[in-house]
Each structure stands twice: as structure tokens, then as C-alpha cells.
Amino acid sequence: MPSAPVDAKGTVLYYEDSGAPANSAEYVTVVLIHGTCFHGATFRPLFPHATACNLRLVYVNMRGYPGSSPVSEADFGSTKDEREQTQRDRGFELAAFLCWLIDTEKIPPINGGAGGISLLSWSGGHALSFSMFGNAGLLPEKTRDVLNEYLRSFIMYEPSSAATGTTPPPSFFGVVADRTKSPTDQAIAFGIEVSSYFEPWDLPDTLPTLAPDAPPRCRIQDLPRAGPLERRFEPTVNKMSAEELRDMTHPATFAGTLHFSHWSPLIAAVNAAHVHRALYDPRFPIGPEGALATVWARVRVHLLYCDMTNGSIAWACATIRCGHAGAEEGVRRPMEVHVFNGCNHFLHWEEPERFTEILAKIA
């Protein structure tokens, strides 16, 4: 299995690569970070469309997922400082993977509108990328310099509330895990919830104040209807074959307590701080005099939001949009918001050709 070393301890990350487009020396490489339970294989439907879009697609599995080095509860720690270090380590591993990929695969550097790397994170995978950007000033100078020549954009594709360290109001709260069930049953319930279509919700300009008893956003399949549910509004996992679903999910994610520690208040504060440093104030003391400077200042940021996504995602996207609007202009990273109407959290699987074309336009 292809894997990349990311530290001196023998830690590796599994990846799959669509390969460089034929007869193209100046393609754009998009590195894809998966979400919770659904690992990198969920991006495989994009690969057949990469060459036509002059893209090279590389997905990487996070620690604890198939092919990558495991991570234990002991590794994660129990105090805020320990968990901050753990999250920082994961971000450093991602930076190391990008540098390894650049060197090993001879990725072309940024040259105008081509070359370089665009980093895309999906759902819970944002905890990894926010950590890398949020701790960019602590990376080795050589790593910062290499990525400065290659990082062209950061695509936030439907970040989760857990990864952003935010707590949705009750009417937006999504997955409620039943830990008395087996990991497989928890994964099934999780898959149905996150891949359902919900009543459309427009991103607000300011975060709304919602009463605790406000009615929840409903899944389309739960709304009253006269006839059968339209096929397109069925949860995405119901459209997958048993083999496809098995090949892209990792039910062991829900075994033990490790996964649920990622949703704890201790890690929420850490993730929220990373979001702030990644997007709203990305300046770090750099150099012997410690002058504040933005690391990777030319990186363009995009937020991709699907208006029929689940509550946790919708709320996280709203908090990012509003938090960015309230940050100091000239300090915050420039960000564009892209809204996709009539789409759920699995746009990349539901419409892989369209999604790849979207990436080609913004990467």
C-alpha cells in the first residue's frame, strides 16, 4: 500500500494518487483530506475526471484510518495542553506529507495560474488542516519556505462544528451517537444522518439567536409527503452499493472512546483557536526580531457550502462566514464563499464530474 513517512518515528500516512495528467507539465495538485468515519476512498469517484480538468488528485488518510499509523487514547492525552500538542502534531504531519509529496513526485511549483498544491479538507478533516495553518509559525523554517512556493489555495469543503470548535444550537445539532450500539451500527446511523438532505438553509450575515425550543431542521425523508421520496433526496449512503460503502467507511472509528474525545470541550477550545489563527489573524512572530508576519500570505481561501447539508455543518459554515466578516480587514486571509443549492454533504460523491470541475475553477 502506498504510504508516506511524516516523521522520524516511523509514522506513515496512506494515500492514493490519480497521477499527473498526461502531456501536462503545469497541472494543479489537489490534496484531499477526508472526514469522520468516511475515509479517503470516498474521493475515488473524482479520479476519472481529474485529467480532463488538468488536475492531479491525491487523497490521504488521517491517523487511525486504513493504511495510516494508528493513534491511541494515550497519544491523544487528557489535558488541554496535551490535546493541543496532539492536534499540533497532526498538523505538522500534514505539512510533512505535503513536503514529501512535493519532493517525491516532483510536483510543479506555482507558476501563475498553474502548478502548486491546493489543500481541500472535508467535514471533520478540517481539524487537521486548521492545525497546520493555525500553527504555521511553529513549523521548521525549511517547511514553511517549501510550502510557500507550492501552496496556492485552501478549500474548506463543508467543515464540521467539531473541527471548528463550535457548538450548534439544539435545532441544528446533528449526530447523537448511541454508544450502547456496535461500532458498525453507529457507523450506519452516522452515515444516514450526515448524508441525508435537509431543509435548505441560507448562510446568514450574522449568527442568529435561536431559542432552545426552536424547531429543528428536518431531514427531507422525515417530512410529510403524498408519495414516495424522490430518489435524489434519499440519503447518499442508500444510493451506494454494500461494497462501495464498506470500502469507504471505517466503523472502528466509533470503537472505544477515542473518537468521542474529539468532540470534547477540551479539544473544542483548541480547534477554535486554530481556526482563528488560520483564518482571522494568521500572523506569527517570525525571524530573530519576532516581527508579526502572515505565513503563506498568497494562499487563497474558499468556503464551499451545500444548502441542504446537516445541522452541524451548516452551523460551522455560518460561524466561519460570520467570524471572517468580523475579523480585521487586511489581517484576515481573503476568503470566497461558494454556495451550492439543492446539494447535501456528499456533493463530491453525488456529482463527481461537476465537483472536479468546481475544483479546477477555484484550486
Q: What are the tens digits of pLDDT across the range 193-208?
A: 999 999 999 999 999 9
Give the total number of structural domains in the chain: 1
Model confidence at 287, in pLDDT bands (50, 70, 90)? Answer: confident
Contact 315, 169 (CB under 8 A): yes
- Please report the pLDDT score of residue 76 as a whole number: 74
Give the CATH number of the domain where residue 324 resides: 3.40.50.1820
* Span 292-302, average pLDDT: 96
- Per the prediction, the chain carries an average pLDDT of 93
Would you say the C-alpha torsion 83, 277, 28, 156 has a positive or negative sign? positive
Contact 46, 122 (CB under 8 A): no
Pick from 27, 146, 57: nearest CA to 96 = 146
Pairing of strands 151-159, 117-123: parallel
Residue 290 has pLDDT above 90, yes or no: no
Pick from 285, 305, 356, 297: nearest CA to 331 = 297
Specify the DSSP element, H or E, that contains 284.
strand 283-286
More confident residue, 352 or 290: 352
Torsion of CA 309, 312, 314, 317, to 10 degrees: -130
Residue 154 has pLDDT above 70, yes or no: yes
CA–CA separation, 240 vs 362, rounded Å? 28
Which are the contacts of 325, defined by CB distance < 8 A and separation ≥ 6? 205
Model confidence at 246, in pLDDT bands (50, 70, 90)? Answer: very high
CA–CA separation, 197 vs 85, rounded Å? 36
Model confidence at 96, in pLDDT bands (50, 70, 90)? Answer: very high
Evaluate if pTM is beyond 0.85. Answer: yes
Pairing of strands 28-33, 283-286: unpaired
Q: Map grid coordinates 481529474 to a residue.
A: 50
Residue 234 phi/psi, 5-degree rounding, is -70, 150
How many Cα neighbours within 13 Å face the side chain of 52?
11
Reading across the β-sheet that carries 335-340, which strands appear in turn?
Answer: 3-5, 12-17, 55-60, 28-33, 117-123, 151-159, 300-306, 335-340
CA–CA separation, 264 vs 260, rounded Å? 7
Could you read off the pLDDT of 167-220 as tens digits, one per residue?
A: 999 898 777 778 889 999 999 999 999 999 999 999 999 999 888 888 889 999
Residue 79 has pLDDT above 90, yes or no: no
Q: Which grid coordinates are listed for 105?
A: 513526485
CA–CA separation, 357 vs 339, rounded Å? 15
CA–CA separation, 68 vs 170, rounded Å? 35
CA–CA separation, 262 vs 83, rounded Å? 9
In terms of Cβ atoms closer than 10 Å to its own Cβ (0-12, 13-18, 19+), residue 233 is middle
How many Cβ atoms are within 10 Å of 127's Cβ, its own excluded?
Answer: 28
Which are the contacts of 191, defined by CB distance < 8 A and separation ≥ 6? 37, 38, 235, 237, 245, 249
- Please report the pLDDT score of residue 261 as a whole number: 62
Local structure of residue 38 (DSSP, 8 states):
B
Model confidence at 78, in pLDDT bands (50, 70, 90)? Answer: confident
How many Cβ atoms are within 10 Å of 218's Cβ, its own excluded?
Answer: 12
Residue 129 phi/psi, 5-degree rounding, is -70, -35
Contact 58, 32 (CB under 8 A): yes
> Where in the sequence is the domain holding 259, given as residue range(s)?
3-362
